[in-house]
Amino acid sequence: MMDKKSIKNEALMRFRSGYNCSQSVLVSMAAKIETDHILLEKLASGFGGGMGHMQETCGAVTGSFMAISIYCGNKYSDNHQRTNEAYKLIRKFDSEFKKLHETTNCMELIGYELDSPEEHEKAVEENVFENICETCISDAVNILFRLLK
């Protein structure tokens, strides 16, 4: 089992190498949630940029929600218990993430419209992906480590 620092470094390395924010968080948690990383990579492929580049819920958050769901799915055999525990942990994650960032909305977090070439270029020039997205990814891994014991 990898430690938090190693998983956080893996998540950031994946993001810097072209994985989206959701994939970066979810795939880096593969060992902790006991799930094949290739399946997780595929599962999260459409969730980057705030879900399909719609800039809704941050990909680091959606990747975390999927990690929580898989973790609970592996931990509990009863569907009712599994679902209730996942809901509880997702609400805790949401609360902790919002304490740090005030929102889980991608557009509100980064402040640039990703589908606009001009705004995307400005975001790159302003190091938004390094300064904001990487912080969200790191914070997501930290929160997951506290919640998934």
pLDDT in tens, the chain (149 residues): 579 999 999 999 999 999 999 999 999 999 999 999 999 999 999 999 999 999 999 999 999 999 999 999 999 999 999 999 999 999 999 999 999 999 999 999 999 999 999 999 999 999 999 999 999 999 999 999 999 98
pLDDT of residue 90: 99
Supply the pLDDT for residue 2: 79
Q: Residue 107's pLDDT is what?
A: 98
Q: Mention every residue, 6+ apart, whose C-beta is less than 8 A from residue 141.
A: 4, 7, 8, 11, 25, 28, 29
In 3D, which of 19, 17, 37 has the Cα closest to residue 28?
Answer: 37
Question: How many Cβ atoms from other residues are within 10 Å of residue 36's Cβ?
Answer: 10
Beta-carbon contacts of 89 under 8 Å, excluding residues fewer than 6 positions away, are 68, 71, 72, 147, 148
For 55, list phi and psi in degrees, rounded to 5. Answer: 60, 40
pLDDT of residue 50: 96
pTM for the full predicted model: 0.96
